[in-house]
A = this chain, B = another copy of it.
Amino acid sequence: MARQTISLVTPSATEVTAGSLAVRSRRLTGGRREGVTLVELTAGETTVCVLPERGLGIWKMTSRGTHLGWQSPVAGPVHPSFVPLAEASGLGWLDGFDELVARCGLVSNGAPDFDATGRLLHGLHGRIANLPAHAVSVTLDEAAGAITLEGTVDETRFHFHVLRMQTTLVLSADRPRIAWTDTVTNLSDRPTTMQLLYHVNLGPPLLGANAELVAAVEEVAPRDAVAVDDVPTWNRYVAPQAGRREQVHFARLRTAPDGWASALLAAPDGSHAAGLSWRADTLPCFALWKNQTGLADGYVTGLEPATNYPNARSFEESQGRVVPLAPAASVRFELALEHLSGDRLTAARAGLAALAASPPPQIHARPRPGWSAS
């Protein structure tokens, strides 16, 4: 033949289906994706993509054609071997950041932490999102109409820490919702402390001018001087603005009688929302990250329930916001993310409105001492 083009890629794939349930798993190839396994779970009209090599992060979710997630300029998923966590800046984590749900932990999360000489102690957002899972399995339960993914991620340094996260994620055919439980265990013979933050990131179509963050706020404060101007509009969004800096607000939310807290990102036209809920006893802190920059730079907002605020670990430690774990002790984190519309959205908004009604929320005009380092 006179002219031919050869693509230098050799994909392989596994697929199992059972009724309306399906799991498709394949090893990605090419560029920084090389070696990342993409596990795609489908139940009815909902699909969720899980990334074992990236600490079981949740890459994307699709609900009846609506895409939950965001368009990061990173264009991942990125294999951990291309994420320079050891870089002296402590910012290497940013090279791999493009998931819908990225866990930040387990030893630390938040801003890079340096010692007095400027040497990096803890990089931005820790290591768990760039540690590969093992013992990953998927169960299709056709009778129950549910898919369950289980897996384990270890964050271990000899002499320092032996932390294990065991994840169970469930997707049901009857509802566009993923629910997951992460159990973190201290496998060491010595007591330790840990931190965990869920970086749940949403871009268009849920995010856009006039999108709204709906939550039952007890208290909210800007993280720093950059966020002060945004206090009056802290729960509203503007259209993408090239070059606009990120703004972050810290909050305590009120919990429902069952102990769960929640926050909704309502789409610009109010017709649907992403609803994130979590057990607040183990995730008492909430940060709202508003990155209203241009589309090409990752116009996105992050809903971030956590054990702490995402400051440098040493500051959080000084404020008692680390989780103590005795030898062999565990702590359990439970969350769910749902694409809400119709009656379910109405009910969710009503529930939050009732919680928020009284007393009025305390809105700080300036960073709150104890939450932000001065």
Q: Which residues of A contact B (CB under 8 A)?
A: 1-9, 14, 16, 18, 23, 25, 30-35, 37, 39, 52-53, 72-75, 80-82, 84-89, 91-92, 94-95, 97-98, 117-121, 131-143, 152-154, 156-160, 162, 187-190, 240, 242-243, 246, 293-298, 327-328
Q: A86-B87, A139-B3, A188-B73 are in contact. Are A156 and B8 (CB under 8 A)?
A: no
Q: How far is the CA of A298 from the CA of B189 in the complex (A)?
A: 10
| CB atoms of B31 and A4 under 8 A apart | no
Q: Are B31 and A89 in contact (CB under 8 A)?
A: no
The listed residue with most B CB atoms (<10 A of its CB), out of A16, A188, A328, is A188
* CB-defined contacts of A85 to chain B, threshold 8 Å: 84, 86-87
Contact status B135-A30, CB under 8 Å: yes
Cross-chain contact B158 with A31 (CB below 8 angstroms): no
Q: Which of B18, B82, B88 contacts A132 (CB 8 A)?
A: B82
Closest to A160 in B: B94
Flag if B158 contacts A32 (CB, 8 Å). Answer: no
Distance (whole angstroms) from the CB of A36 to the closest CB of chain B: 11
Tell me, rounded to whole Å, the shortest Cβ–Cβ distance linking A59 to chain B.
15
- CB-contact partner of A158 in B74, B80, B136, B138, under 8 A: B74
A-B contact pairs, 25 of them (CB 8 A): A3-B140, A4-B139, A5-B139, A6-B23, A6-B140, A32-B132, A32-B154, A34-B35, A34-B132, A73-B158, A75-B156, A80-B81, A84-B86, A85-B86, A85-B87, A94-B157, A98-B158, A117-B117, A118-B119, A189-B242, A189-B295, A189-B297, A190-B294, A242-B327, A294-B327
CB pair A33 B88 closer than 8 Å = no
